[in-house]
Amino acid sequence: MSNHTYGPVLLKIDHVSMEYGGRPILKDVCAEIQEIKRDASRGQVVGFLGPSGIGKTQLFRIVAGLNKPTSGQVVLDGGIPVHPGLVGVVAQDYPLFSHRTVFSNLCLAACRKEKNTKAAEEKVKGYLNEFDLLEKSNLYPVQLSGGQRQRCAIIQQILCSDHFLLMDEPFSGLDLLMLEKTSCLIQKVANLDEKNTIIVVSHDITTTAGVADHIWLMGRDRDAQGNIIPGAHIVETYDLVERDLCWHPEIITTPPFMAFVAEVKNRFRTL
């Protein structure tokens, strides 16, 4: 078992509900992410799983501050109500301005927080160097590979938000090599600061569990007759830290990890 303690709550989803046209989409969703304190600096990675159409996108947008719930709220470190810009969002298409270079795109993001242009540029150079993109500074997005655009989009969101990052289906359509690289990238971003908090929305149970320290599983309840009750919520949370199933590179090849993935898949099928 890894030596660790839990610190303050960094993000809290507090009894969030949403209706559309009088129909419940989300119903009393509650979850929280705590800072995990270890000897080594490490942030938090939460895997957010659920069937298609269950309401993940709606909750994703609420956590990002892009949509307002019908009731409840999302608060960040220190009880700050979420609003656009506090939580970075890395979309599947990695949107960057096509007419700007990589450096220009990232400086534009950095200047949202840094009032001093020189300080913003130095910050951008530091991240480009950290993510092995310094030599791509003067290229345009169309000249980058998919993996390079993903890294740029992540840097962009880190620069203009604080410690919170939402990633929408980062493993979708990737081959095995790119899956491994993307998994390493997510862990690298988390480990830049112990308060860094990444929520990965995905359908890929195995890969998501391989990078996460906690898993949220979204679903709907059923009545006594087996009929679905409208309104999704987080039906299961899994603490991979307590199970000693994270932070070890070789863990995904072990029988306990594979048994955990099977457990989640079996629960997934009931949703």
Q: Cα(236)–Cα(250) distance, rounded to whole angstroms? A: 25
| Alpha-carbon distances, residue 144 vs 95, 99, 101, 186 (angstroms) | 13, 13, 11, 19
Least confident span in 139-148, 172-181, 232-241, 253-262: 172-181
Over residues 126-140, the pLDDT tens digits come to: 989 988 899 999 999
Q: What is the pLDDT of residue 226?
A: 84
Least confident interval from 97-101, 161-165, 173-177: 173-177
Looking at this protein, which amino acid is placed at residue 251?
Answer: I
In the predicted structure, residue 181 carries a pLDDT above the cut 70: yes
The pLDDT value recorded for residue 37 is 84
User: By C-alpha distance, which of 159, 155, 153 is closest to 189?
Assistant: 155
Average the pLDDT over 145-168 and give the result: 87
State the pLDDT at residue 73. 96
Residue 41: per-residue pLDDT: 67
| Distances in whole angstroms, Cα of residue 123 to Cα of each of 99, 110, 126 | 22, 8, 5
pLDDT at position 221 over 70: yes
Domain ranges for the chain: 5-86+164-269, 93-161
Assigned token pair, 32: 């929280």
Highest mean pLDDT among 5-9, 26-30, 170-174 belongs to 26-30
Mean pLDDT of 234-255: 92
**Arithmetic mean of pLDDT, 156-183:** 85
Q: Give tens-digit pLDDT for 75-120.
A: 998 789 999 888 999 887 778 899 999 999 999 989 888 888 999 9
The C-alpha angle 232, 235, 241, rounded to 5 degrees, equals 135
Min mean pLDDT across 5-14, 168-177, 236-245 is at 168-177
The CATH homologous superfamily of the domain defined by 5-86+164-269: P-loop containing nucleotide triphosphate hydrolases (3.40.50.300)
Whole-model pTM: value is: 0.89
Q: From start to end of the chain, where are the E strands?
A: 5-20, 23-37, 44-49, 71-76, 80-81, 87-90, 164-168, 197-202, 214-219, 233-239
Q: Is the pLDDT of residue 163 over 90?
A: no
Question: What average pLDDT does the chain have?
Answer: 90
Q: What percent of the chain has pLDDT over 90?
A: 53
Beta-ladder partners of 49: 202, 217
- Percent of the chain past pLDDT 70, that is, above it, reads 98
